[in-house]
Structure 1
Amino acid sequence: MRFVNTFGLAVIAAIMVPNFIFAATHRDGFENLYKNKAVEFLEQAGRFGCFAFMIFCVPVLCRGFWFGGAKAAYFAASSALTAAYLCGWAVFWKENSLRKSIVLSVVPSLLFLESGFFTLNIPLIVCAMIFAPCHILLSCKNAKMS
């Protein structure tokens, strides 16, 4: 794999579009009701680590596609999960519910995990394993508290 993963960059760009639209249309922003500084910090560190390692592949730590068909599986799974995330935003746009929180937290978590595993990108796997439980917990707790 090259140092810059252009497909990973395209995936990150695609999943950020609804987030930017949400931020632009909701000037008040998102209020985090679940106040747990440790979980919040780990979620943000995991999130930005996932963003970075989806795009940049550290040569020694990113081993590349590790089995025949891994590249095709990576493109297929990443594309399907990206489409599922975008559809989740479209379906649940005006809704504020637990099911919205579950979909919009589980899908990107799976996206980062599968991307890391298919490409044997060790930093991405580590960041995704930090991000996933923290993001899902924060999303679900906030949905229940609102």
Structure 2
Amino acid sequence: MSVSVIGGADGPTSIFLTENYGPSWINIFGLVIVILILLPNIMYAFKFRGVENKCKNKVMNIIEQIGRYASMFLMIFNIGLTEFGFSSPEAFVFCFVGNTLLLTAYWIIWMLYFKKITFWKSMALAIIPTIIFLLCGITLGHYWLVLSAIVFGVGHIYVTYQNAR
């Protein structure tokens, strides 16, 4: 393992650990984010088994699922569609801090949601993951992730709105 400095910036944000074995197929940062998004959803699935999807628009349900799985896949796996990475230490810090704040808000809203389900909480829980995927895609310059996040956002927000009203 070697240490490389990006952009000559000072401070810990400019130091990244890189492997000498070539590029990795798995993005650990993305994997952790996806796990943190999925955990409360799994808890919801166990707590509220058998909740009916009130959205009868099959096209929007399919769009939501395509966007969801494409976004999660592209967050985790580096499949070589495009080469991407943080353009600067500042982009990394922006992504890291932004995701930390968004994930914290996401988990807090989930805790409140488990106590009492409301429309605004449902919509926030649909919007925040979309913003997380967009933030990662934009700061990484991963335009396939940006596209899948947009598809996911359109479908997920629509389906959630139909189910929450």
Amino acid at match of 1:20: I
Question: Following TM superposition, where does structure 1 have runs of at least 4 consecutive aligned residues deviating by more than 3 angstroms?
Answer: none
- Give the SS at the match of 1:69: helix
Measured in 1, the distance between the counterparts of 2:146 and 2:132 equals 11
Matches within 5 A, 1:37-116: 37-116=58-137
**CA deviation after TM superposition for structure 1 residue 97, in Å:** 2.2
**CA deviation after TM superposition for structure 1 residue 98, in Å:** 1.4
Aligned residues: 143
Amino acid at match of 2:60: V
Deviation digits for residues 55-105 of structure 1 (CA, Å, limit 9, x no counterpart)? 112334142112441111111111111111111101121323210111100
**Structure with higher strand content:** 2
Q: Which has the higher contact order (CA 8 A, sep 6+)?
A: 1
Residues 62 and 98 of structure 1, relative CA distance in 2, 3 Å threshold: farther
Measured in 2, the distance between the counterparts of 1:8 and 1:83 equals 16
Map of 2:38 onto structure 1: 16
- Give the SS at the match of 1:93: helix
Measured in 2, the distance between the counterparts of 1:57 and 1:43 equals 22
Moved more, 86-95 or 99-108: 86-95
Unaligned runs of 5+ in 1: none
Map of 1:122 onto structure 2: 143
**Higher alpha-carbon Rg:** 2
Amino acid at match of 1:6: I
- Give the SS at the match of 1:137: helix
Contact 1:62 1:122 in 2 (8 A): no
* Backbone CA RMSD of aligned residues: 1.5
Measured in 2, the distance between the counterparts of 1:109 and 1:17 equals 16
Amino acid at match of 1:11: I
TM-score (norm 2): 0.81
Moved more, 99-108 or 53-62: 53-62
**Structure with higher helix content:** 1
Measured in 1, the distance between the counterparts of 2:125 and 2:83 equals 27
TM-score (norm 1): 0.90
Map of 1:141 onto structure 2: 162
